[in-house]
Every structure is written in structure tokens, then in C-alpha cells.
């Protein structure tokens, strides 16, 4: 008999909470612009989703297929992506309202340090980036970026999970 598993909601909420805590630590500790810190949330999310997929496969007693495990991981990915959009908007506009200006200032100094662009070209780059910081565009970008990496993790989790064939001879009437 197959165990019914709908704990993907709890796993998604838990993972989103962990990612929020990581981001808050980075924001308050001023680590957000460190190159090593930028990828921590992505790494943690991908590892967690892979582990959740493998655990899901182990909980099932029969019929563990790639599609079933991937679907479980993808549900978690969707939940995390939606919650991270909500948190990110709160982060950008309420918790850390100076973040947009910090990003644009860092971008300007990085472009000036590279020395490959004129001041006019740098101004154009910064202005274009500022346009992408609008809530609607930012939401779409965060959702798609989070979903992209978490979908890869779901694929990996499904690939690493031991598969079992369904028992087609066991009639469940």
C-alpha cells in the first residue's frame, strides 16, 4: 500500500523559512554583497530539495517513479518560489528599503573599477537596472530564478531516488 504524502506544503514552508533567516542574517550582518554569500541560499535550497525527494522515495512502499518524485520536489519548489517572492518584496521595500540604492551604488562602483565603460555607459546601465527593480519585474525575476534552480534540484532528487515498480498484480478493490 502506498503512503499518502502531502507534507510537501510543510517542507516548502520550512525551507522558505530557512532561506528567509539566511537572507535576514546576510542583510543585518552586511554580507549580502560578499561573493561567497550570494550562493548560500541557492545551495541550501537545492540540497534540501534533493534530500526531500530522496526521503519521499524512501517513504513510498511501491511505485516510486521519476515523475512522482520529481512532482513532489516541484511542488516544494513552487511553494518556496512563491514565498520567496513575497519575502523579497517585503525585504526590498519594508525591511531593507535602502537595498535598491545599495545595489545600484555597488553596481556603479564595480563598473567604474572595471574601467571598460564610459561614465555615460555606466549611467545607462544603472538606469536600466533601476527599471528592473520595479516590484512586478522583480517579482517575476525572483520567481523564475528560484523556480529554475529548485526545479534542477527536483530533477536531481528524482534521479538520485531509488525507483520501484508498481505492483500491478495486487488488486486494490
Query: What is the distance between the alpha carbons of residues 121 and 124, in angstroms, rounded to a whole number?
Result: 5
Q: How confident is the model at residue 1 (pLDDT cuts 50, 70, 90)?
A: very low
The pTM of this model reads 0.84
Residues 6 or more apart in contact with residue 136 via CB below 8 angstroms = none
> Is the per-residue pLDDT at 143 higher than 50?
yes
> Is the per-residue pLDDT at 5 higher than 80?
no
CB 46, CB 153: distance < 8 Å: yes
> Is the per-residue pLDDT at 155 higher than 50?
yes
Query: What is the distance between the alpha carbons of residues 153 and 33, in angstroms, rounded to a whole number?
Result: 25
> Is the per-residue pLDDT at 61 higher than 80?
no
Query: What is the distance between the alpha carbons of residues 28 and 24, in angstroms, rounded to a whole number?
Result: 6
pLDDT at 4: 52
Query: What is the distance between the alpha carbons of residues 3 and 139, in angstroms, rounded to a whole number?
Result: 36
C-alpha cell at position 76: 516544494
pLDDT at 105: 92
List, for residues 95-129, the tens digit of each pLDDT value.
Answer: 999 988 998 999 899 888 888 888 899 899 999 98
Amino acid at each position: 500500500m502506498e503512503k499518502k504524502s502531502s507534507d510537501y506544503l510543510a517542507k516548502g514552508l520550512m525551507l522558505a523559512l530557512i532561506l528567509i533567516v539566511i537572507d535576514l542574517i546576510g542583510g543585518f550582518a552586511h554580507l549580502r554583497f560578499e561573493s561567497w554569500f550570494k550562493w548560500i541560499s541557492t545551495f541550501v535550497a537545492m540540497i534540501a530539495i534533493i534530500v526531500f525527494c530522496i526521503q519521499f522515495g524512501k517513504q513510498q512502499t511501491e511505485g516510486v517513479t521519476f515523475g512522482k518524485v520529481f512532482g513532489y520536489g516541484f511542488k516544494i519548489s513552487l511553494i518556496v518560489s512563491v514565498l520567496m517572492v513575497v519575502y523579497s518584496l517585503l525585504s526590498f521595500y519594508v525591511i531593507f528599503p535602502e537595498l535598491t540604492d545599495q545595489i545600484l551604488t555597488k553596481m556603479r562602483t564595480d563598473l567604474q573599477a572595471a574601467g571598460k565603460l564610459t561614465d555615460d555607459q555606466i549611467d545607462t546601465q544603472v538606469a536600466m537596472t533601476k527599471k528592473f527593480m520595479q516590484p512586478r519585474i522583480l517579482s517575476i525575476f525572483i520567481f523564475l530564478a528560484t523556480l529554475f534552480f529548485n526545479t534542477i534540484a527536483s530533477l536531481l532528487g528524482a534521479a538520485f531516488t531509488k525507483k520501484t515498480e508498481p505492483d500491478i498484480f495486487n488488486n486494490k478493490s
